Amino acid sequence: MKQISFRIGVPMVAVLTILLSCTTKRGQQAAVDCPPKACTMEFRTVGVVFTDSSGDTLQVKNFSARLKSKGEKLPSAESESATTLNQFYLVATDGDKSVLSIQGDTVQVSATHPATGQTKTTDFVISGGRCECHINKVSGPEKITFE
């Protein structure tokens, strides 16, 4: 009976080292502990529109979206704001998935009516996770109406 043995030479070690130290396109270390997934190329967002009692859209003041458990603002909500042409307020995007849990976190959305000064606060539940492909809105309205 022949005995077969393998020897790993220097070239093979170099190839293995390169393969194990791959980085993502943005230069970040690949998540070694995340299982492989087939993700789509879409970029998901969760947002909300504010309206007055007659159904007209509003450009509100002091908009914020914070993780209720930590009180921290979500990066997407802080970097984007609505304009007079587009009054869709970003609550979260796929860029926030690493600060959100797989089970979902409560995100408190708050804004002030520009004319009356009334402040509305509404809870959304949004799931994510560092190893997930996208965020998902578990619950929360499409629009918030000021009375």
**Considering the domain boundaries, does residue 27 fall inside one?**
no
Give the mean pLDDT of 3-17. 44
Q: Give the least confident one: 76-90, 98-112, 116-130.
A: 76-90
- Mean pLDDT, residues 98-124: 96
pLDDT at residue 93 is higher than 90: yes
For 64, the domain range is 45-145
DSSP 97: G
Is residue 136 assigned to a domain? yes
Instruction: Catalogue the E-assigned strands of 36-87.
Output: 45-51, 61-67
Say what the pLDDT of residue 9 is.
46
Q: Is residue 137 part of a domain?
A: yes
Q: Residue 18: inside a domain, yes or no?
A: no
Strand partners, 42: none
* 23 in any annotated domain: no
CA-wise closest residue to 69 among 96, 93, 118, 105:
105
In a domain, 19, yes or no: no
22, part of any domain: no
Percent of the chain with pLDDT over 90: 62
pLDDT tens column, 52-89: 999 999 999 999 999 999 888 988 887 766 676 778 99
Query: Is the pLDDT assigned to residue 1 strictly greater than 80?
Result: no
Cβ-count burial of 70 within 10 angstroms (0-12 exposed, 13-18 middle, 19+ buried)? exposed
Does 118 fall in a domain?
yes
Rounded CA-CA distance 127/8 in Å is 44
Number of domains in the chain: 1
pLDDT of the residue at 69: 92
